[in-house]
Structure 1
């Protein structure tokens, strides 16, 4: 019975954070090639609160919802064409970002300093994944891809990394205290 409760809690956590990502994706500032959106903030929050495994599962769920056509991506877009299009690399990068960000926190400590380090690393991972796909899909040079897919997002990315760290650690601590999250990493078979 206890195992079933743990599994249910994991499913609910992942579903809630996939939904939060879908909602924050609609907060966007349009730019010519790649918009600035709340998706990356949501990825950082997800990883900071849930950790590597659940964070990555939540992002797989988010990507899957969009892949089947639900309008969960930035600008109320959905469908496989978004994933194979110029911005799809960022979405695939969210899965890796959530895992790496959460992994760093699990191997160090869930505190503001380590969360900021982990979220900055995560931001870099997202930008690398997104820029690689952007370059090849739009047949850009590396300089063009960096100019369109990295440089405009550095300052905003650092702000979002700080917000994800601060809000994420605050929320995580409260969820642990309320026993909605385990204090230590918990494995579910």
Structure 2
């Protein structure tokens, strides 16, 4: 495969996962300040399937689409005001989450147990970014920020980390077999 074909495949993979993230963002359970949505499941899938660089690039694409006003964020919202608002830290954190999750897998093994470990670490990265911005934007104390920005998401976060790991590794293996993505990191 030539370099141009490889670049096109990377762009297509990133666009597909940015779109998947936008779609899963609309699956939500409303909470008072920050809804529980399918976005973090999509972030975990992107990182588990694509790896660190492409997973992070897909999240950059997702964030930029939303920043320019495309309604890809939870509740069909979009615009820069979402990124600088109370929930924006989670969206910014998706980039770091995808990179670190994919990086852990590339440096270890693309297996369900390692993916679960990497996705749980990623969950806490997203929660860290989100809670810090929630605290700053809403001028909350740490206790209130943790109560609104972390605790409600833990149980569902572990479930999404498991789903991203199991589905992600299964899909990744099939995409490699179909020669639609390149295997990076250690063999599964």
- TM-score, normalization by structure 1: 0.97
- In 2, the alpha carbon distance for the partners of 1:111 and 1:143 equals 36
Equivalent residue, structure 1, for 2:148: 148
2:11 aligns with: 11
Name the SS of the counterpart of 1:179 in structure 2.
coil
Cα deviation 1:103-146 (Å, max 9, x = unaligned): 00000000001000000000000000000000000000000000
* Corresponding position of 2:138: 138
**Which of structure 1's runs of 4+ aligned residues deviate more than 6 A?**
none
The answer to whether the Cα contact below 8 Å between 2:55 and 2:98 also exists between their aligned partners in 1 is yes
Partner residue in 2 for 1:94: 94
Structure 2 segments unaligned to the other structure (5+ residues): none
Q: Does 1:75 align with 2:75?
A: yes
Give runs of aligned pairs for residues 36-185 of structure 1, distance below 5 A. 36-184=36-184
Query: Separation in 1 of the partners of 2:26 and 2:182?
Result: 31
- Count of matched residue pairs: 185
Q: What SS does the corresponding residue of 1:66 show, helix, strand or coil?
A: helix
Q: Is the 8 A contact 2:66 2:78 kept in 1?
A: yes
Q: Secondary structure at the match of 2:139?
A: coil
Partner Cα separation in structure 2 for residue 101 and residue 184 of structure 1? 13
C-alpha distance in structure 2 between counterparts of 1:176 and 1:184, whole Å: 10
Residue 182 of structure 1 and its aligned partner are, at CA, apart by 1.2
- Measure the CA separation in 2 of the matches of 1:141 and 1:182: 45
**Residue 183 of structure 1: how far off its partner (Å):** 2.1
- The runs of 5 or more residues in structure 1 that have no matched partner are none
